[in-house]
Amino acid sequence: MVETKLAFHTVGVIGRLGSELVVDSVKRLEGHLENLEVEVVVEKATAAMVPRNAFKVLERAEMGKHCDLVVVVGGDGSLLGVARDLVDHGVPLLGINRGGLGYLADIRPEDIEHRVGEVLNGNYYIEQHFLLEVEVFSGDRVIGRSSALNEILVHSGSMSRMMEFALYINDEFVYDLHADGLMISTPTGSTAYALSAGGPIIHPSLDAIVVLPMFPHTLTSRPLVVGGDAEFRIELASTNQRDAAISCDSQVDIPVSSGDFAVVRKKQERLKLIYPMEHSFYDSLRSKLDWASRLGGRK
């Protein structure tokens, strides 16, 4: 009998909370990993949702230190949160889609055994995605910081209203703008919120960042694509009468006030996303954006 050498030996499992469909897929995944004699580590919150005493249970923050692969069962939103939490550990992520479109979490639930088995046997490739990080200042005091895999958005709060701010790139003044907000997006985020806001689709391999005004009070404010090493400074004008917020991946909000400013730059650590060998960025675009049906049904 020839022993098969697996590419990963300690696999973490994280599932989106509050979904019976996720529970079903997590159970299926755990059973498959157990059959492959892989050491399984389950996030504490996920273990509470799917009780099983046979597996090691850890807080999410600890999983990056113990796992050489983490599988996320949920939608792209679930993967965004895990990415921010674990990117500093360098552990690769694999997504099983139990959400909507599934640009990042690409494996279908019915393909768990086949696709996860392929990955564990070494039939996969790694896409490296960079994140953005933001520091928010009030004067010379840092009042908040976070990171984002998709986008960082400066917006006018819970109710849509015009705000005024100034944008600098690499300490060079770009413009003053009246708009509902300003989005700074990674290539990963170019197929998410930025796409809905009229931004371009950027291939994930490109080292580029999209600057996208949100409903600007001028017809000449257009999306701007700059190099990935650019540093952005966004200054909220003192004339703004209401507080605003800086949102990271629409999951983390940092309140800001008139006169505050934010500095955004590329995060040094890269996220490693694992895909089966058959994955194609362009095939994903055709499927998710329904391009094929507009070409006479061509597959």
Catalytic residue positions, numbered = 76
Q: How many CB atoms sit inside 10 A of residue 168's CB?
A: 16
Which letter does DSSP use for residue 181 in this model? Answer: E
6 class by beta-carbon count within 10 Å (0-12 exposed, 13-18 middle, 19+ buried): middle
Least Cα distance to 56 among 87, 9, 11 occurs for 11
C-alpha to C-alpha distances, 263 to 16, 197, 231, 266, nearest whole angstrom: 31, 22, 7, 10
CA distance 135 to 161: 24
Residues sharing a CB contact under 8 Å with residue 297, sequence separation 6 or more, in sequence order:
none
Query: Radius of gyration (Cα) for the chain, nearest Å?
Result: 21
CA distance 60 to 53: 17
